[in-house]
Structure 1
Amino acid sequence: MTIEPPSTRTPAPAPPARPARSPLGARDSRFGFMLAAPAVALFLVVAVYPLLAGVWTSFYDQSLVRADRAFVGLDNYTDVWPVFTDRLVNTLVFSVLATLFPVLVGLALAILLNSRLPGRGALRGLLMLPWLLPGVVVSFLWAWIFNDSYGVVNDLLTRLDLPTVDVLGQPLTAMAAVVVAKTWNTFPWVMVVILAVLQTLPREQLEAAALDGATRAQRFRHVSLPHLLGPLALVAMLEFIYNFGSFDMIFVMTGGGPGTSTMTLAVSLYHYAFTEFSLGRAAAMGVLWLISLSVVCGAYFLLDKKLESRT
């Protein structure tokens, strides 16, 4: 009898066992979709549908005072384009000035409040009051201050035997008045952001610079300012985006006047829709406004991404 030698063939490896799928996975997914569905539906109704409806309306001759409408293609865009370029200049002027001055005032006050100033806690609270007021309230307040008949400015000029000025009735001074009101309303939030950054500065670097004989101005330039540039840039971009779409303050104080000196894109769109009752032209102006604002928002996202890559 022959005995066969034992086989040396190694058995094939068993396939890896698949991880058991949790019986709650599908149910959790459905539950997650159910939780997100109301927010998605609200976003579609509140944001997406009005946007698409506005773009669709921009191709029609549609009015608030008549029910019918006619397709006109790009005629609305052709009609509003010269007006858009003119209003875009006013919008950019207002946005730049209404961003620059709050940033400068907020930066100066943040540096002041970061020092050992007596009563700085109460002063911080008082300086926050302009930010807490609604924009319409601030607009009426400053419109009363600059009023040519009974305003505070002309009353002071009269008491000083100086000629009065119709601030809101002249193109240059009207834009300046709106910028002053906007600056007073928005500098506190810039101040708060910069003050928060100043509170997180490395004290070791500041103390080392002081020991090396650096003056306060030199410490700010070489130690504090590099840490502030990123937050300052983001705050300025956000403020510019907000001012680019600002409506209430200009509409209440000047209504876009005198003439068209303070007529921004937002106020112009309002006049198209509710003064001329031309929804088609208003929608075309809104689409052009949206495109220009998208460029600004794109610049903000690029700046934010660049600053994040540095950290």
Structure 2
Amino acid sequence: MRKLTNGQFAWLLMAPGVALFLAIIAYPLVSALVTGFFEQSLVRPGRTFVGLANFADLLGGDFWPVLRNTLVFTIGASVIPFVLGYVLALALNSGLPGWLRGVFLFPWVIPAVVVSFLWLWIFNANYGVLNGLLGTEISWLGQPGTAMAAVIVTKTWSSFPWMMVMLLAGLQTMPKELHEAASVDGAGTIRRFRSVTVPHMKGIAGIVFLLEFIWNFQHFDTIYVLTGGGPAGATKTFAVAVYDTAFKGFDLGHATALGGLWMVLLLVLMVFYLRKEAS
């Protein structure tokens, strides 16, 4: 019996993983991308090749409002928890009691859907806690002017803890001698933060922020539970738009075309992340 070479043995070991990748990732992805070039419905058999017509329809209409909403949500739900997480990480690293870390982590360990229903109750126009505290009757989730802000607040509450933990881990790798040397040279708190902390944290802070940005760019559950993309499409992001087009409008052609455009934008973000990781 002929013995396998090292290369053949390596391919044999990789074969199950490659087969699994092709079956559950590569084939569905290629199939979905191909569907974007057809007119196809979930409720009618067969499909018709339409070329780039689906993409042209989207770029001439729904794509840009959805892109704007996605960017507003992604930027808001990334910047605010990043700043909040950074401030809390600095506070915890400066001597706050350790048990507070567990308290701050509490929102992160709750499932996103549960968090969404919690804030759905808080923002309720009739019996919500927020209106009760403010003495108002504002429909936070029913008005285009406030719905996106409410969604961003909800996502911020559930995502700042992990950013805090990651940034705190980075702060704790900083040699104390650097701050001591800066203090000896007469640098104050703000100067030490700008000259010592920020340069040391630049790498990990960039990766944490990019990861959160990428995750928010494809976030679905919080938005869908709170507003379903409404009111009047004010919170409809790519994730919600693809779902609605495919499973409410039964239009697989436009849904997969929109998903293809969405994937291209995500790939751009992934390139930035990989370059940041490599550096």
TM over 0.5: yes
* Alignment partner, residue 242 of structure 1: 215
* Alignment partner, residue 43 of structure 2: 65
* Alignment partner, residue 147 of structure 1: 124
Whether 1:47 aligns to 2:20 is no
* Alignment partner, residue 149 of structure 2: 176
CA-CA distance at 1:299 after TM superposition: 2.0
- Single out whichever of 135-144 and 101-110 deviates more from structure 2: 135-144
Which residue identity lines up with residue 200 of structure 1 in the other structure?
A: T
- Single out whichever of 182-191 and 215-224 deviates more from structure 2: 215-224
Deviations 1:233-285 (A, max 9, x none): 11111111111101111011010111011011111111110111001110111
* Alignment partner, residue 164 of structure 2: 191
Secondary structure, in 3 states, of the residue corresponding to 1:70?
Answer: strand
* Alignment partner, residue 52 of structure 2: 74
* Alignment partner, residue 280 of structure 1: 253
CA-CA distance at 1:301 after TM superposition: 2.2
Q: Which runs of 5+ in 2 are unaligned?
A: none
Structure 1 distance, partners of 2:222, 2:157, is 12
Whether 1:95 aligns to 2:68 is no
Structure 2 distance, partners of 1:141, 1:37, is 45
Structure 2 distance, partners of 1:57, 1:252, is 28
Q: Is contact 2:179–2:196 with CA below 8 Å preserved after alignment?
A: yes
* Alignment partner, residue 252 of structure 1: 225
Secondary structure, in 3 states, of the residue corresponding to 1:201?
Answer: coil
Secondary structure, in 3 states, of the residue corresponding to 1:276?
Answer: coil
Whether 1:108 aligns to 2:87 is yes
Q: Which of 125, 129, 139 is the matching residue for 2:106?
A: 129
Structure 1 distance, partners of 2:105, 2:252, is 40
Structure 1 distance, partners of 2:19, 2:122, is 45
Percent identical pairs in the alignment equals: 50
Which residue identity lines up with residue 87 of structure 1 in the other structure?
A: V
Structure 1 distance, partners of 2:24, 2:127, is 43
Q: Which of 61, 64, 87 is the matching residue for 1:85?
A: 64
Work out which of the two has the higher radius of gyration on C-alpha atoms and give 1 or 2: 1
CA-CA distance at 1:27 after TM superposition: 5.0
Structure 2 distance, partners of 1:101, 1:41, is 41
What TM-score does the superposition give when structure 2 sets the normalisation length?
A: 0.95
Deviations 1:125-145 (A, max 9, x none): 111111111111111111111
Structure 2 distance, partners of 1:99, 1:85, is 21
CA-CA distance at 1:212 after TM superposition: 2.6
Secondary structure, in 3 states, of the residue corresponding to 1:34?
Answer: helix
Q: Which runs of 5+ in 1 are unaligned?
A: 1-22
* Alignment partner, residue 194 of structure 2: 221
What TM-score does the superposition give when structure 1 sets the normalisation length?
A: 0.85
CA-CA distance at 1:28 after TM superposition: 4.5
Q: Which of 120, 133, 136 is the matching residue for 1:156?
A: 133
